[in-house]
Amino acid sequence: MTTTRRTHQAVRLDWPRLRARLDALGRVGALDGGGVCRLALTPEDKAGRDLVVGWMRDLGLHVTIDAIGNIIGLRPGLEDGAPVMAGSHIDTVRTGGLYDGNLGVLAGLEVVAALNDAGVTTRRPLAVGVFTNEEGARFAPDMMGSLVYVGGLPLAEALAVEGIDGRTVGDALSAIGYAGPAPVGTPAVHAFVELHIEQGPVLEEQGIAIGAVEGVQGISWTDVIVEGTSNHAGTTPMRLRRDAGYVATAAAVVVRDLAARMGGDQVATVGALELTPNLINVVPGRARFTLDLRNTDEARLQAAEQVAFAEIDRLAAAEGCTVTRRTLARFEPVTFDLAMVDRVEAAARARGLSVRRMPSGAGHDAQMMARVCPTGMIFVPSAGGISHNVTEHTDDAHLEAGASVLLDLLVDLAEPVDPAPG
Amino acid sequence: MTTTRRTHQAVRLDWPRLRARLDALGRVGALDGGGVCRLALTPEDKAGRDLVVGWMRDLGLHVTIDAIGNIIGLRPGLEDGAPVMAGSHIDTVRTGGLYDGNLGVLAGLEVVAALNDAGVTTRRPLAVGVFTNEEGARFAPDMMGSLVYVGGLPLAEALAVEGIDGRTVGDALSAIGYAGPAPVGTPAVHAFVELHIEQGPVLEEQGIAIGAVEGVQGISWTDVIVEGTSNHAGTTPMRLRRDAGYVATAAAVVVRDLAARMGGDQVATVGALELTPNLINVVPGRARFTLDLRNTDEARLQAAEQVAFAEIDRLAAAEGCTVTRRTLARFEPVTFDLAMVDRVEAAARARGLSVRRMPSGAGHDAQMMARVCPTGMIFVPSAGGISHNVTEHTDDAHLEAGASVLLDLLVDLAEPVDPAPG
């Protein structure tokens, strides 16, 4: 143990090198005026992939591309077997930033570089994974590459998915030369760690450097259509109205109150709402709104759904309106391996960094990997909680701190072998 | 009095003739699939005006066009002086029907025709008025022609108004040849009566044939913009949100509850509501909504405004959002001359028709004329309360009943002179 601690200290992050890689990748698909657009499997994504694969090869990694386009760079260990893997994605939304996804991949490469610099071998192999189409901005579902990797979606089904431009995943993969020969799901992974920006405001607001992610919230997306009767706003007495807009707005208030009453990490959002005909002097005959409910606890998420749906039905019935509900997405919550959460927390504390346990409100490749191996996530603060936005930002000090925690964790999990005494 | 009663009975409505005129005018600007589009001062409006002016001349009326395009057809009385006037408008909204406005004008012509048929002369002159741009669908404000007629808007200001197509009222009037030589506001009017469809559901719902309109509700239109912060719906805890959508929807519920609590004829409508960016997984950073408040009592309308605005401000402050309010329209309530309301009610009862007193929720030329002379309005039921819609409908029996009440009222006000004994 003492030996290992000494070895750790010899493996040192080169922050300017990581910063330079973040900037270089950020120039691929850069938007005028800031931000990045590298939608999955576009020429920009290919250019980003080529850059990363080149860096992997420069670092001596053995690179494989699987049939869904996931890129795995492997650093051999003293023993064969399942590697410890760091990973994330490099595709972005249409108005993406420099860190969402990219940070987890490039910090993983920096760990490899640091091990190389220190001449340290690990008992277990170390891998860096780049998963295809995490964002889902061109092809649904999101987290596609990792989902296929863990067997959650058949490969053939994923390849047949049509994107927003009508092209299939399979065609787009072939077009950019990333329909690889490696079987999907190999290698098996010993443990998976993803460093990611929080994409929320909690760490910044609380002045905390590191988030030890306990799991990913379950998500329930519902589209609700309310049908009433359109009428003259001046001549229709209140008691004779069947106001679809009233039902929709009252429902939005009810779900907000529900989330507040439930407390904990329950969130509820009515993000989209449209009235028809949407005129100042006409009682809305139709309203459409979306409901986004999330909770880390499946039972509580189901309870939230039940109460919300019942209240919407009750409001509509009282107004003489009808309701049509359609589920747009439904994922159960994911709980990360407790030992991995402990490790993240301990690694941060060992560096003297402030840390808190927290759920992830957004989806990540790590939640898919958690199905097949112990998985952890490290969050670093997002300025203003802003993400999927060209103004996405995290301070250098926070990026470096997160990468350091990733390094310590990976090295620890991979079990460094002391260099032969000189 | 006995003599007058006998004279009344000799003046008989020719319903098929009125029906034929309604249909003929309805064919001018007819829309495929039903309904009519005769926006003010368009070629369609000109064609409608030409048709009506032709009918006026055929009936022996002396036709004058004033500088704002109002058409007055005068039937001389035994004495000179201020005429009794029936009137309304023939412009329509983009998706108008056959009766809104047109009924009041054409029923007025039918009264003239019936007097002609019976060879009855009246002591006072009788006039039929067609007012320019009542709907306001092309040029604001609505009720423009009658507003200028009564001196509520300077002629020059009205002529300079730019329409939705950038053209001014003055240019459009000249283009269709209806910038007339008559001074606006002449002749002075002894009494004004407007027959109109209710455009609301009350008469139909209560099975009543005739509405004796007591006045027109005051109206308060406000545009409200709420600014908060756009954030990720998954990663932003409820307590850290500045949700502009929540403020807007909660405001909509508050004003609805306010109207219910105030009771009486108070109505409150949030007819338009837009969220930005309006995405399922983004907390709205901006919301815009409209507030339509109406009451027949100015003090109560002001109270409704005060409570609504204060509640919106309170909701926004609690959420950390800012509010910008802009008044789009504000008209005080109009109360019709009580003797005129009594006359409408008595005329309906004398015909054996069911009748109720009621306010008008919509604006009408009559509310402008009420500034300068005793004014009354006769409402007939609107099927389903539907108006400003190509499906606008009133049963023939109701149209005929309304026209009969108008006839009795006008003849009574104009004081028929018995024909010389034959």
Query: Which pLDDT tens digit goes with each residue over B268-290?
Result: 999 999 999 888 888 999 999 99
Amino acid identity at B269:
T
Beta strand A218-227 with A191-197 is unpaired
Sign of CA dihedral B15, B16, B22, B25: negative
The residue count of chain A comes to 422
Orientation angle between helical segments A396-414 and A338-350, nearest 10 degrees: 120
User: Cβ neighbours of residue A27 under 8 Å, at least 6 residues apart?
Assistant: none
3-state secondary structure of B114: helix
Distance CA A117, CA A94 (A): 36
Distances (CA, A) of A104 to A21, A61, A94: 12, 17, 19
Q: Do A237 and B200 make contact, defined as CB atoms within 8 angstroms? A: yes
Distance CA B135, CA B42 (A): 13
CA dihedral B362, B21, B65, B125 (to 10 degrees): -90
pLDDT for B407: 97
Orientation angle between helical segments A102-118 and A15-26, nearest 10 degrees: 140
A234 chain-B contacts, CB cut-off 8 A: 199-200, 217, 219, 267, 292, 294, 360-363
Residues A38 and A48 sit within 8 Å (Cβ to Cβ): yes
Residues B133 and B88 sit within 8 Å (Cβ to Cβ): no
Residues A398 and A377 sit within 8 Å (Cβ to Cβ): no
- Tell me A162's DSSP state: B
Distance CA B177, CA A102 (A): 69
Q: Is the peptide bond before B76 cis (omega within 30 degrees of 0)?
A: no
Question: Which has more confidence, B84 or A279?
Answer: B84
Does residue B420 surpass a pLDDT of 60? no
Chain A with chain B: Cβ pairs closer than 8 A: 208
Q: Do A249 and B252 make contact, defined as CB atoms within 8 angstroms? A: yes
Distance CA B180, CA B172 (A): 12
Amino acid identity at B253:
V
* CATH annotation of A2-216+333-417: 3.40.630.10
pLDDT for B8: 66
Q: Do B235 and A328 make contact, defined as CB atoms within 8 angstroms? A: no
Does residue A246 surpass a pLDDT of 70? yes
pLDDT for A420: 54
Q: How confident is the model at residue B4 (pLDDT cuts 50, 70, 90)?
A: low
Q: How many CB atoms lie within 10 A of CB A189?
A: 22
Q: Do A234 and B217 make contact, defined as CB atoms within 8 angstroms? A: yes
Task: Compute the nearest-CA separation of A342 from chain B (Å).
Answer: 22
pLDDT for B231: 84
Q: Do B281 and A269 make contact, defined as CB atoms within 8 angstroms? A: yes
Q: What is the mean pLDDT of residues A141-159?
A: 95
Task: Compute the nearest-CA separation of B245 from chain A (Å).
Answer: 7
Amino acid identity at B422:
G
Distances (CA, A) of B320 to A417, B241, B256, B286, B315: 55, 8, 23, 12, 9
Task: Compute the nearest-CA separation of B20 from chain A (Å).
Answer: 28
Does residue A278 surpass a pLDDT of 60? yes
Select from B221, B270, B385 the Cβ nearest to the Cβ of A235.
Answer: B385
The residue count of chain B comes to 422
Q: How confident is the model at residue B2 (pLDDT cuts 50, 70, 90)?
A: very low
Orientation angle between helical segments B396-414 and B102-118, nearest 10 degrees: 60
B266 chain-A contacts, CB cut-off 8 A: 238
pLDDT for A93: 87
Residues A217 and A296 sit within 8 Å (Cβ to Cβ): yes
Residue in B with minimal Cα distance to A247:
B253
Residue in A with minimal Cα distance to B291:
A280
User: Cβ neighbours of residue B387 under 8 Å, at least 6 residues apart?
Assistant: A232, A235, B97, B100, B197, B199, B200, B362
Select from A198, A236, A270 the Cβ nearest to the Cβ of B200.
Answer: A236
Q: Do B387 and A292 make contact, defined as CB atoms within 8 angstroms? A: no
pLDDT for A3: 42
A273 chain-B contacts, CB cut-off 8 A: 245, 249, 273, 275, 278
pLDDT for A8: 66
Give residue for tokens 């007012």.
B131
Distance CA A341, CA A374 (A): 10
| B202, B243, B269: best to mutate for the A interface, most A CBs within 10 A | B269
Q: Could you give the residue range(s) of every CATH 3.30.70.360 domain in chain A?
A: 218-331
A235 chain-B contacts, CB cut-off 8 A: 198-202, 360-362, 385, 387
Q: How confident is the model at residue B5 (pLDDT cuts 50, 70, 90)?
A: low
Does residue B201 surpass a pLDDT of 80? yes
Does residue B312 surpass a pLDDT of 60? yes
Task: Compute the nearest-CA separation of B390 from chain A (Å).
Answer: 13
Distance CA B365, CA B105 (A): 12
Residue of B133, B103, B143 lying closest to B41 (CA atoms): B133
B253 chain-A contacts, CB cut-off 8 A: 246, 249-250, 253
Q: Do B271 and A281 make contact, defined as CB atoms within 8 angstroms? A: yes
Distance CA B397, CA B51 (A): 25
* CATH annotation of B218-331: 3.30.70.360
Q: Which of A275-279, B176-180, B295-299 holds the top average pLDDT? A: B176-180
Residue of A117, A143, A275 lying closest to A196 (CA atoms): A143
- Could you report the per-residue pLDDT of A319-378, keeping only the tens digit for each? 999 999 998 878 899 999 999 999 999 999 999 999 999 999 899 999 999 999 999 999
Q: Do A200 and B253 make contact, defined as CB atoms within 8 angstroms? A: no
Query: Is B284 exposed, middle or buried, given 0-12, 13-18 or 19+ CB atoms closer than 10 A?
Result: buried
Please report, rounded to a whole number, the percentage of residues in chain A having pLDDT higher than 70: 97
ipTM exceeding the 0.90 mark: no
Residue A100 is assigned to a ligand binding site: yes
Sign of CA dihedral A368, A373, A376, A377: negative
Task: Compute the nearest-CA separation of A287 from chain B (Å).
Answer: 10
Residues A41 and A173 sit within 8 Å (Cβ to Cβ): yes
Distance CA A169, CA A370 (A): 24
A202 chain-B contacts, CB cut-off 8 A: 235, 237, 240
Q: Do B284 and A271 make contact, defined as CB atoms within 8 angstroms? A: yes
Q: What is the mean pLDDT of residues B294-322?
A: 97
Q: What is the mean pLDDT of residues B247-268?
A: 96
pLDDT for B6: 53
Give residue for tokens 């009855």.
B120
Q: What are phi and psi of A367, to 5 degrees?
A: -70, -25
- Could you report the per-residue pLDDT of B127-179, keeping only the tens digit for each? 999 999 999 888 888 899 999 999 999 999 999 999 888 999 999 999 999 99
- Tell me B78's DSSP state: S
Q: What is the mean pLDDT of residues A171-184?
A: 98
Distances (CA, A) of A223 to A248, A327, B1: 11, 6, 69
Residue of A369, A361, A367 lying closest to A388 (CA atoms): A361
B267 chain-A contacts, CB cut-off 8 A: 233-234, 236-238
Please report, rounded to a whole number, the percentage of residues in chain B having pLDDT higher than 70: 97
Select from B272, B278, B385 the Cβ nearest to the Cβ of A236.
Answer: B385
B283 chain-A contacts, CB cut-off 8 A: 269, 271
Q: Do B219 and A232 make contact, defined as CB atoms within 8 angstroms? A: no
Q: Do B235 and A275 make contact, defined as CB atoms within 8 angstroms? A: no
Select from B237, B249, B253 the Cβ nearest to the Cβ of A270.
Answer: B249
Dump the DSSP string for A335-386.
Answer: E--HHHHHHHHHHHHHTT--EEEEEESS--HHHHHTTTS-EEEEEE--GGG-
Distance CA A106, CA A15 (A): 11
Q: How many CB atoms lie within 10 A of CB B419?
A: 12
Residue in B with minimal Cα distance to A294:
B234
Q: Do B201 and A231 make contact, defined as CB atoms within 8 angstroms? A: yes
Mean pLDDT of chain B: 94
Q: Do A280 and B221 make contact, defined as CB atoms within 8 angstroms? A: yes
Residue A196 is assigned to a ligand binding site: yes
Residue in A with minimal Cα distance to B239:
A260
pLDDT for B319: 97
Q: Could you give the residue range(s) of every CATH 3.40.630.10 domain in chain B?
A: 2-216+333-417
Distance CA B84, CA B189 (A): 6
Q: Do A235 and B202 make contact, defined as CB atoms within 8 angstroms? A: yes
Q: Do B201 and A235 make contact, defined as CB atoms within 8 angstroms? A: yes
B268 chain-A contacts, CB cut-off 8 A: 238
